[in-house]
Amino acid sequence: MMSKNISRRELIQKSLAGFGALSVPVVLTACGGDSKDEVVPSVKADFKHGVASGDPLQDQIILWTRISPQDTAARLQINWEIAKDEKFSQLVNSGSVVTSSAQDFTVKIDANKLVAGQQYFYRFKYGNIVSPVGKTKTLPSTTNNVKFAVCSCSNYPAGYFYVYREMAKQKVDAIIHLGDYIYEYGQDGYAAEDAVKLGRTLPSDNNKEIIKLDDYRKRYALYRTDLDLQAAHQTTPFIVIWDDHELANDAWKEGAENHQADEGSFLDRKLAALQAYFEWMPIRPISDQDHLNIYRQFSYGNLVQLMMLDTRILARDKQLDYADYMTAQGLNITQFQTDLTSQTRTLMGYTQRDWLMAQLESSKATWNVIGQQVLMSKMWIPAELLMSLAAITSGAVDANTLIKMNQQITELVTLKVRLLKGDTSLSAVEKARITTVAPYNLDAWDGYFFEREILYNKLKSLNKKVVVLAGDTHNAWSSDLHTAQGDFVGVELATSSVSSPGMEKYLNISDDQLKAFESAFTTLIDELNYANLKQRGYLNVSFTAEKMQAEWIFVNTIKAAEYSIDDSRTKTLEIDNKFNLIQPIAKTA
């Protein structure tokens, strides 16, 4: 934790000092001529990490690559081209830029002079060495349809990136990555138990927990050698946001669960992590002076307004923890509820919150979409089940524990069904078992009750509804969103993970038992309509003026040399532009 609170002004000043590599003359150029900087043209180098594009506008888009030189002291001049055709006979813009170790030999171009709604091809050159050709697309000025592929949580040692391979095949306007693009753990860390068998171990010079700038850079470099990830970047522009693992587990503005005092300054670690992020990701800084705030919006004509939020790193107050409220007599409910509903605790920060409210007020789009990291829906479960799950996820699991929990779930579901049917014979004790509920995940919006209500009540006052996209949990979910008074304000679509394990890792039960568990969750959690707690996958979301369609797609494995799409688990939700159900998603798996 930092020794004192750091103001936003101080943080930006410190970041600009550390992010010199991201200044416009070095990293970003719209259309340049030959550089006047001294260049070493004879250094051997190649493009090992592919190409990428991102943050499309109607007339601009970010283009990215990295050159890998044998001489790391060199300064290399890289040429870039963007054209209407794959043969580059119809060039639209071109230029050159110098890169060096100051920005880890990454190259990031904000290419302009483009036309709205146009597909383009781009490439980079170093002498006679040519990068792969990338394909990208600008935002449309008007459009009849928009389609996104949505993903999150890609852990390299955990398994193969087949989900990226599948997304690369999709014809979508953008891939939305909701964070945890990399993981900070060392070789014996989270989800690495099969890394040796899979041939996905961390290299010897980067197999510890990453803390310094060079550590983060090397971790991105490893991930970007994955051919499936390269393919996704090469075929489709990305719109990205960070979550916690780009920095450290369960990060907040002044610390993280996975940052200890003996690991040095958290501020220094944060600035290093964010610098590497901006170097390696196809993202546009908000301004030349601000390389910290990454909340931003993308307008697809008047059909979709996409608002990307940072609910994680820059402004989040520290998460609540049930353990901090335990006394000899049990949970201090009074203090917990006081803190949970505090009006001063924030997830977004006041500046970002005001920006979001202004975006919602001014939006003329048919569909307002919020892309962000953590679950927004109320995931409140019976308190007794919460205690059982806490024991299991902490590692205190054996056959007897699972048997008792399965019995407990069966009893709770039976009681909830009776309650929903209006059974008047339920005793007070039975009612209490299912109505005494608590938030399952205090790291999500459930831990920031007041700020969520501010957003929900703003939507209510504007008579607008939202589609919220979420990641983080490694499980797939679909929920309805309601104010504390029960007013419906939108739907949440949560994607599974690329490779990070879901709840199946902790439950360790059969497929049939897991499906029953998924069904039980949708019964016991009032806002929840669907859950997949086992499989890795992604989410396709498409919009027209009349309807939205969401489709959850899963691969059958990330641990074998061959895989397939598990069609039996594909699920679809359709709603009209008034948020009425056209095709409800099945509650059972």
CATH node for 295-379+440-494: 3.30.750.180
Give the pLDDT confidence score for residue 19 in this predicted structure.
47
Q: How confident is the model over 521-549, as a mean pLDDT? A: 98
Q: 346-395 pLDDT, tens per residue?
A: 999 999 999 999 999 999 999 999 999 999 999 999 999 998 888 777 76
Q: How confident is the model over 535-563, as a mean pLDDT? A: 98
Q: 74-132 pLDDT, tens per residue?
A: 999 999 999 999 999 999 999 999 999 999 999 999 999 999 999 999 999 999 999 99
Classify 583 as helix, strand or coil.
strand
Q: Is the dihedral of CA 459, 460, 466, 470 positive or negative?
A: positive
CATH fold, domain 31-140, is Immunoglobulin-like (2.60.40)
CA proximity to 228, closest of 566, 500, 499: 499
The values of phi and psi at residue 95, to 5°, are 180, -170
Give the pLDDT confidence score for residue 508 in this predicted structure.
77
The values of phi and psi at residue 46, to 5°, are -150, 170
Give the pLDDT confidence score for residue 586 in this predicted structure.
66
- What is d(CA 500, CA 229) in angstroms, rounded to the nearest whole number? 15
- What is d(CA 81, CA 96) in angstroms, rounded to the nearest whole number? 9
* Structure token digits, residue 108: 């990031």
Give the pLDDT confidence score for residue 23 in this predicted structure.
31
pLDDT bucket at 27, cuts 50 / 70 / 90: very low
Residue 588: pLDDT over 60: no
- What is d(CA 22, CA 289) in angstroms, rounded to the nearest whole number? 10
Contact 384, 404 (CB under 8 A): no
Q: How confident is the model over 286-301, as a mean pLDDT? A: 89
Residue 30: pLDDT over 50: no
Give the pLDDT confidence score for residue 21 in this predicted structure.
38
* Structure token digits, residue 14: 């410190």
The residue ranges of every structural domain in the chain are: 31-140, 295-379+440-494, 381-438+506-520
Q: Which residue has the higher pLDDT, 587 or 572?
A: 572
Q: 298-310 pLDDT, tens per residue?
A: 999 999 999 999 9
* Structure token digits, residue 584: 């409800």
Q: Which residue has the higher pLDDT, 479 or 406?
A: 479
